[in-house]
Amino acid sequence: MQTILKSAPMQKMLIVDDNGDLRKLLRLTFGYGKYQILEAENGQSGLNLAMQQKPDVILLDIMMPGEIDGLLVCELIKASPELKDCCVIMLTARGQREDFEKGEKAGADYYITKPFSPLELIEIIERKRFNKD
Amino acid sequence: MTSNKQRTEVNQTALPGLALQQNPDLFRSLVESAAEIIFCTDAEGRMTFLNQAWTRITGFTIEEGLGNPLSDWVVDPDSKAFSKRFKPTAKNDANWRLDIQVRTKAATPRWLALNARALRNAEGEIQGIAGTLLDIHDRVQMEQDLKQSEQRHAMVACASNDGIWDWDLLNDKIYLSPRWKSMLGYADDELDGSFAAWHDRVHPDDIKQAMNDVMACLEGRTEHYENVHRLRHKNGSWRWILDRGVVFRDETGKALRMTGAHADVTLLKSIEETLLQRERELEAIFSISPDGIVTVTHDGLISSVNPAFLLMSGLNKEAIVGMPESQFNQLVLSISDPQFPYQPDLLGGDEQPQAVLQLVNTGSKPHHPLRRRSDNQSSFRLRKPRLRVLKRTVRRLSDQAIAKVMYFRDVSIETEVDRMKSEFLSTAAHELRTPMASVYGFSQLLLSREFDADTTKDILKTIHQQTESLVSMLNELLDLARIEARAGKDFQFTVQPLQPVVRRALAELLVPGDDRNVKVEIPDVLTPVYIDAEKIKQVVTNVLSNAYKYSPGGGEIQLRMLARIRDDGSREIGVSIQDHGIGMTPDQQFHLYERFWRADTSGKIQGTGLGMSIVREIMDIHQGEIEVQSTYGLGTTIILWFKEMQSGESHANHS
């Protein structure tokens, strides 16, 4: 058990969402030992935390209070040399075609609309990790 | 007897005669200066003396005249009157008179008045004829003209349906024909011919101009008289009369008669009026129409544009009218948005109504023919003078003065409403997705994993809360939709005091986890208001629950009822609800009534963003006012103002 943990160090996951219940849902979904969970309530603090902690996975809401929305956060992360390999998953209530297009343009790896299946979300992230490794 | 008379005359002229006999030069000059021709003949009728007037009047020389009988110059010498009387006989001792036509050198005969008597010598024998010829040609001519004109008039009067009038100006008598009278509903014997018979029946609005025209003709300023005026019919109605006349004058220019005819033009006039009215109506519709109208002639030229089109396009009328249609289309295309262009050729340019009908008839599916009408319509967006969405409809007209009508309707507002509706739907869907994500996600986690009792309970609590939030959001959406659709028609308005309604809202208010009590100040007596109690209770509840929710840090919540008198004297009752919570910035206040807008975006304060939208809708239907005083970080006061019911004031029209 110890050796496995050492050979596969805990991944860092950043959850950026202004809705407390949503953050709780994601925390419970991924908080079973594999991930170190980081949380932010808005775009600015999410961006700061990402720069600081360099997470492997970011679950990013789009519409949040403050100057910086999720799309801009994604764009800035993908533009940063240190963070561009980080997997950004947009999790949003905006489900129209032009919203997808905007997410794609911002460089998001996945664009998932709410409500979503937590189990499917785990699978997507695991598959992504496996492919990368 | 005759010789006595003769002598008397001689005696009377004895003195001048003596003078004349003594002075033949004076005698000669008198004869030569006379205006009439003086002549003498011998017994055979040949002329033996002629004065200078002969040459002046006939154009022939005296030598040409002398020695020839007068009958050689008379146009009709065989006429009984002339041939019988112009003889040197005793019968003609007295002066006799006859109007004769005499040939002249200029070929046109002239009318002369012949005065003649037999001429006797000193012995009393008849020697010949002496006499004068006075030129009366102009007078005779005028009399004949008048006679002819009268005959023409009589003919016209009989042949036409005109009413004739004839005004004898010297004797101020007027003849009115039977038709003149019957035109106004009178029998011939019911109306006397007088100036007043006409004058007093002319419409007051027309008399001035009619009299002006009559006078202008009488005074010779106009050649003919013509005026259209209304005359009162016996039955009291007005008949439109076309009145025309001419004036006859003597040689000095003095007006002798004025004669004319009445034609009844009432029917013409009413058709003319109807047409004019019609034209005015069309013109009014054309010019006040909010929709743009452009017409095209059969030659493919723009024939007219209305003000609405000029306003919506910002184009210049002078530039467009007369322009070929293709050029017009280019012009409109040039100011339209390339993203959403004007497409005159694809749609409406050469549509074939016949072909459309065939399409409908042979189509396998039964179409309603009207639906094909949309083929003639196209929408486009104008960039200039400002962004507008216009819908163009083209109608082709056959056998009309214009070939085509293009009809432009500004559908910017409809398009905007459509856009807002779809935006509202997508926002609503978005708002429903968030609580749904919790319900869906947490329930899946519960089904697939084992959690300890505390976590399980927390998850269930979250699911319950979010479900509750979904339900209230649905209810409020439906409330809003209903209020909007019915516009207050299902509201139960009654006159009642406001206090009990506010008290019920206070009593039923349930704020879980908050034990604060509202500090209430409600006077016992207030003028009643005209409201739907249930709806106003909802308004008070929404504002009160906002006061609780948006003062999470505590602080007193106050509800006061007050009265005020406005500047216009109207009286109002207010419900003021004050909190000491997070407050709003001016920018936030601007969004207060926006659907789904929330002052708190952290998700810590529950809500749908629809509460104040509902408050606004209900207050609008009550014609009430919402006053907002808010300072960011210090709190908010909302005052709901209601109009007081004045005693005796009717409220039936409010319902």
SS3 B385: coil
Average pLDDT, chain B: 80
| Nearest CB neighbour to A18, from listed B426, B433, B603 | B603
Mean pLDDT calculated for residue range B12-26: 58
| DSSP letter assigned to residue B74 | B
Q: Of B555, B545, B471, whose CA–CA distance to B508 is shortest? A: B545
Quick check: A127 pLDDT over 50?
yes
- Please give the angle made by the CA atoms of B104, B105 and B107, to the nearest 5 degrees: 70
> Shortest Cα distance from B438 to chain A (angstroms)?
6
Quick check: B365 pLDDT over 50?
no
Q: What's the pLDDT score for residue B201?
A: 94
Least-confidence region, from A70-74, B123-127, B248-252, B644-648: B644-648
Least-confidence region, from A17-21, B264-268, B510-514, B525-529: B510-514
CATH (one of 1.10.1370.30, 3.20.20.10, 1.10.540.10, 3.30.565.10) for B490-654: 3.30.565.10
Query: Are B440 and A116 inside 8 Å of each other by CB?
Result: yes
Q: Is A119 on the interface with B (CB under 8 A)?
A: yes
Contact yes or no for B347/B376 (Cβ under 8 A): yes
Pairing of strands B163-168, B388-396: unpaired
Query: Are B438 and A95 inside 8 Å of each other by CB?
Result: no
> Shortest Cα distance from A76 to chain B (angstroms)?
23
Mean pLDDT calculated for residue range B220-235: 92
Mutation site, B424, B426, B430, interface A, largest A CB count within 10 A: B430
Contact yes or no for B650/B493 (Cβ under 8 A): no
- Please give the angle made by the CA atoms of B55, B56 and B59, to the nearest 5 degrees: 55
Q: What's the pLDDT score for residue B345?
A: 57
For domain A11-127, the CATH superfamily is Response regulator (3.40.50.2300)
Tell me the CATH architecture of domain B141-271.
2-Layer Sandwich (3.30)
Give chain B positions within 8 Å (CB) of A119.
444, 448
Beta bridge partners of B395: B405
Quick check: B651 pLDDT over 60?
no
* A110 token code pair: 């996945």
**Rg value, chain A, Cα:** 14
Quick check: B249 pLDDT over 80?
yes
Beta bridge partners of B494: B531
Q: What's the pLDDT score for residue B371?
A: 35
| DSSP letter assigned to residue A33 | T
Quick check: B1 pLDDT over 50?
no
Q: Of A4, A11, A6, whose CA–CA distance to A87 is shortest? A: A11
> Shortest Cα distance from B606 to chain A (angstroms)?
11
Give chain B positions within 8 Å (CB) of A64.
601
CATH of domain B289-410: 3.30.450.20
Instruction: Please report, rounded to a whole number, the percentage of residues in chain B having pLDDT higher than 70.
Output: 87
- A-to-B residue pairs, Cβ atoms closer than 8 angstroms: 68
Quick check: B344 pLDDT over 80?
no
Its ipTM equals 0.87
Chain A residue with minimum CA distance to B600: A65
Mutation site, A26, A28, A98, interface B, largest B CB count within 10 A: A28
Quick check: B258 pLDDT over 80?
yes
Average pLDDT, chain A: 84
Domain ranges of chain B: 34-135, 141-271, 289-410, 417-482, 490-654
Going along chain A, which residue ranges are E strands? Answer: 11-16, 35-40, 57-60, 87-92, 110-113
Contact yes or no for B258/B244 (Cβ under 8 A): no
Type and span of the H or E element at B391: strand B388-396
Tell me which amino acid residue B330 is.
Answer: Q
B213 compared with A65, residue with greater pLDDT: B213
Tens of pLDDT along B434-472? 889 999 999 999 998 888 889 899 899 889 988 988 888
Locus of tokens 């002052």: B599
Least-confidence region, from A115-124, B229-238, B373-382, B536-545: B373-382
Tens of pLDDT along B59-106? 999 898 888 888 888 888 777 778 877 877 777 777 888 888 898 888
Tens of pLDDT along B372-429? 344 467 788 887 777 788 888 888 877 667 788 888 888 888 887 787 777 777 777 7
Query: Are B438 and A22 inside 8 Å of each other by CB?
Result: yes
Pairing of strands B292-296, B255-264: unpaired
Integer Cα distance of B510 and B365 in angstroms: 59
Mutation site, A18, A21, A59, interface B, largest B CB count within 10 A: A21
B123 compared with A8, residue with greater pLDDT: B123
Query: Are A25 and B441 inside 8 Å of each other by CB?
Result: yes
For domain B34-135, the CATH superfamily is PAS domain (3.30.450.20)
Q: What's the pLDDT score for residue B368?
A: 38
Q: How far are the Cα atoms of B57, B72, B148 from residue B108, in angstroms, in the given order?
A: 11, 15, 20
Q: What's the pLDDT score for residue B243?
A: 92
Mean pLDDT calculated for residue range B586-605: 74
Locus of tokens 């002249």: B104
Type and span of the H or E element at B139: helix B137-159
Tell me which amino acid residue B343 is.
Answer: Q
Beta bridge partners of B261: B164, B244
Other C-beta atoms closer than 10 Å to the C-beta of B529 total: 21
Mean pLDDT calculated for residue range B115-134: 85
Q: What's the pLDDT score for residue B354?
A: 34
Q: Of A97, A22, A98, whose CA–CA distance to B436 is shortest? A: A22
The band of B591, judged by pLDDT with boundaries at 50, 70 and 90, is confident
Q: What's the pLDDT score for residue B233?
A: 94
Q: What's the pLDDT score for residue B278?
A: 86
Tell me the CATH architecture of domain B417-482.
Orthogonal Bundle (1.10)
Quick check: A76 pLDDT over 60?
yes
Give chain A positions within 8 Å (CB) of B426.
96
Domain B289-410 and domain B490-654 have a common topology: no
Integer Cα distance of B551 and B579 in angstroms: 7
Query: Are B441 and A117 inside 8 Å of each other by CB?
Result: yes
Domain ranges of chain A: 11-127
B604 compared with B106, residue with greater pLDDT: B106
Q: How far are the Cα atoms of A124, B374, B431, B548 from residue B469, in angstroms, in the given order?
A: 30, 44, 10, 17
The band of B364, judged by pLDDT with boundaries at 50, 70 and 90, is very low
Give chain B positions within 8 Å (CB) of A117.
440-441, 444
Quick check: B151 pLDDT over 60?
yes
Q: What's the pLDDT score for residue B13?
A: 43
Four-CA torsion B182, B185, B187, B191, nearest 10 degrees: -100
Least-confidence region, from A125-129, B150-154, B330-334: B150-154
| Nearest CB neighbour to B434, from listed A65, A114, A119 | A114
